[in-house]
Amino acid sequence: KGVGNKTGTETLNIIPSNSGMSSIINKHSESVDVEIDIIMLDEFIPATIKIELVKIDIEGFELEALLGAKEMLKMNSAVVQLELDTTSDMEKSKEIITLLRDLGYKNFYQRKRGIFYRVLRRLYIQDLQIENFELQSGKFYQAVWATK
């Protein structure tokens, strides 16, 4: 199963030589397509369960997973760790940060040179620009941690 913003099915493009790069979003020439069930975390995880950490590394489908977990994230103060693709989809990365901010996340961290840096005390967005946040276009996947 996979997680997303709606219940249904999606085609997972599995790369036999590197299964970690398999993706719903990105199609590769050597991929094998498999239909998988998609669930929403909001429907799957009971509201009575306390969630402390959410780790998402699903090759471009992070926004969809977060959209399907909005209620869970609102009700918990879970740390969220995910990877953002700022190479090919900076706008989607910005949407993810905006969504997390809307859900109450205020502190964002990145790992640089083996050390975790707090890169943002407050996220300030004006005219769709993320100020003081170190996501830079052209960087490969960037790991980001978010806390409330």
In angstroms, the CA 8 to CA 25 distance is 15
Distance of CA 67 to the CA centre of its chain: 10
Of 16-20, 115-119, 131-135, 141-145, where does the model show the most confidence?
16-20
Sign of CA dihedral 68, 133, 53, 18: positive
Secondary element (H or E) of residue 128: none
For residue 115, the model assigns a pLDDT of 44
Answer yes or no: are the C-beta atoms of 40 and 7 closer than 8 Å: yes
pTM check: above 0.85: no
For the stretch 19-75, pLDDT in tens is 888 888 877 788 899 999 999 999 999 989 999 999 998 888 999 999 999 999 999
